Amino acid sequence: MGFEENLLFYLTFAAYGIASLLYISYVGTKNAVTAKVAFYIVVFGVVVNTAAMLLRGYIGGYVPLSNGYEFLLAFSWGIAFVYLVTEWKYKVPITGAFVIPIAWLLLAYVAILMPVEYKVARPLMPALQSNWLTYHVITAQFGYGAFAFSFGAGIMYLIKERAINLGIKSGLAAKLPSLETLDQLGYRLIAVGFPLLSLCIITGAIWAEYAWGRYWSWDPKETWSLITWLVYAVYLHARFTYGWRGKKAAILAIIGFIAVLFTFFGVNYFLSGLHSYA
């Protein structure tokens, strides 16, 4: 990676890190200026994150969504972008303390643990030379961003509910939004993410048919994508059919995002298969 690519990456890394710290400090201070500054730092982070992806595309000569480094850049962008849109719409800045650190941690993995050779742009292998791959990863990018937010809302719900059950009326839990607000936020983000995940799986199957001559191979990545889809399908089905709200829904939202993370990290690094390049 050249100087410009490294500069844009570390600017993004720093922006999400500083914004995370500001949002965490906002939890304690409830200072509106702190939340506003954090919001604009996330906006800056999304801008340089976008520039980093565009520069990688220019250098590589392809849409930069073909290896682990490029996908984590896109994954972080998706989380930060979905956060900005949700924060702009619902005005709950405290959620930034639970969502933006996820984007930062993904980039921290790249900065600290990912081998240098995994970050370098390489000529695309034949299986990746398809526009369906672009559609496949872009839908994952936005869908995973929505699921990351629902994960944060689920964590906040459990903290708040436990404090209420214990009769605690001060501290972190007292500063979180109401249980109803957190439940609705988690649901709405999953309602956005689920159709995107469905499109991700469908476009991935079409791409697989072009690349390997079959729509589905029960490759570990495909299998875990299906498991993730089933977790969110159960969430929505149980909500509509059995009226699941509150704690059960929050736990399912958390399990769903853990499945998302395993689909990327667990499958890529612990299981072998057709997606081992990702």
Q: Do residues 193 and 146 touch, judged by C-beta distance below 8 A? A: yes
Give pLDDT tens digits for 3-28.
Answer: 889 999 999 999 999 999 999 999 98
Structure tokens at 67: 């290896």
Contact 79, 120 (CB under 8 A): no
pLDDT in tens, 250-273: 999 999 999 999 988 777 776 665
Q: What percent of the chain has pLDDT over 90?
A: 64
Sequence-distant (6+) residues with CB within 8 A of 198 are: 229
What span, in angstroms and rounded, lies between the C-alpha atoms of 216 and 221?
11
The confidence band for 248, taking pLDDT boundaries of 50, 70 and 90, is very high
pTM: 0.89
Residue 218 pLDDT grade (very low, low, confident, very high; cuts 50, 70, 90): confident
Is 259 within 8 Å of 231 (Cβ atoms)?
A: yes
Cα–Cα distances in Å, from 220 out to 66, 273, 275? 18, 6, 8
The DSSP annotation for 11-32 comes to HHHHHHHHHHHHHHHHHHH--H
Look at residue 237 and tell me whether its pLDDT is greater than 60.
yes
Give the three-class secondary structure for 159.
helix
Decide: 23 and 35 in contact? Cβ < 8 Å: yes
pLDDT per residue over 157-166, tens digit each?
A: 999 999 999 9
Domains of the chain by start residue, with CATH: 1-124 (1.20.120), 128-277 (no CATH)
Cα 265–chain centre separation = 13
Q: Angle CA(11)–CA(16)–CA(18) in degrees, nearest 5? A: 90
Q: What is the average pLDDT value for the chain, to the nearest integer?
A: 90
The winner for highest mean pLDDT among 61-65, 68-72, 177-181, 218-222 is 177-181
- CA-to-CA distance for 63 and 152, rounded, in angstroms? 30
